[in-house]
Structure 1
């Protein structure tokens, strides 16, 4: 599915409508060029889940974790930024493998293309949001869900 986002208000509405899907899939890969809006969209998603702390780009620490409740269940939003990861093996050193198994963990992964092959190989379901810059304000979002037989 493709959707044209003209401003932040439209982006907020788009991600608000995805809340249940994000919870059920548990992993959202945010993919786009530098400056495409990955961190901004991660912040919008965090706000939709009523996370009070400001979500910042975790580029230098790679991984930040935030607790939240959704429909009276406790979850953890794991915000990862894989920009500085050069080899897939580096991702596994983060102990991500164990964290992916925990049902209370939700993942927003910037530069998600760096882990996509691993998730597919392990048959781990995810949502992929590809962000294409059209101009200063507008983005084209392409949403795809992984599927395995």
Structure 2
């Protein structure tokens, strides 16, 4: 019983003297990678073929023999698309094309995921349009700074008697 408990526990040791946010993030990422590796190990033991899901390499995507299509994104904020694609469960691969001056991204996906990818792209574009339509916080701050700078403050003292 004790051996079983000990084998299932994972000890995560981090030096507490220089504990920063980056160190905490790195520790969590290593823990998640460990969990993913355990899950894949269990699948291998069962004899089932390990099939990657979500973001993967182009080679892994082509190796699944289900046909591959691609789309081109020129927007550098590809992370927002990755969040939406993960939400819709799309298997995809991102390849950065550096041949042009603003780099463009090629998003490869399975042909059978076309409908899910279409809905993911519509949500992604809606997010981008919403974000572009609202003014930035820095622009608002600069506008208020100008208002304060141009405002004239009346600093004369007035003495009045109240009766």
Q: TM-score range by the shorter chain?
A: under 0.3
Q: State the structure with more CA Rg.
A: 2
Q: Which has the higher strand share?
A: 1
Structure with larger RCO (C-alpha < 8 A, sep 6+): 1
Q: Which has the higher helix share?
A: 2
